[in-house]
Amino acid sequence: MNETLHITVRGRVQGVGFRAFTVALANRLGLQGWVRNSPNEREVEIIVRGSGDALESFVERLRQGPPSSHVNGLESHAIDTNEHFTHFSVRH
């Protein structure tokens, strides 16, 4: 069963390739949704939909981030949304 998560990642996550890392990871895991920089320069926001196992792997990899990032915290919770996703992309 597919689930949708809202994720906020905090730390050195802007200007270090974190969004590109997130898109590539989501595509490898077959997930849909989007990632964007938060107005707070130390956060990115993610909405992601997929199966439980894929989402679990996604969140664990986000906690590590790409080599040039430093994740200080990650919050994730399930949400209900009517938004339709066909792929995973960067939002501006």
Domain ranges of the chain: 2-81
Q: Annotated catalytic residue: which of 37, 61, 63, 91?
A: 37
Confidence of residue 41 (pLDDT cuts 50, 70, 90): confident
Tell me the pLDDT tens digit for each residue of 50-88.
999 999 999 999 999 999 999 999 999 999 999 999 999
Contacts of residue 31, defined as CB under 8 A and 6 or more positions apart, other chains included, come to 48, 49, 50, 54, 55, 58, 88
Alpha-carbon distance of 68 to 57, in angstroms, equals: 20
Alpha-carbon distance of 69 to 46, in angstroms, equals: 16
- Span 4-27, average pLDDT: 97
Alpha-carbon distance of 34 to 84, in angstroms, equals: 11
Domain 2-81 belongs to what architecture?
A: 2-Layer Sandwich (3.30)
Catalytic annotation present for 10: no
Catalytic annotation present for 42: no
Tell me the pLDDT tens digit for each residue of 23-40.
999 999 999 999 999 998
The two tokens of residue 48 are 């992601």
Overall pTM > 0.85: yes
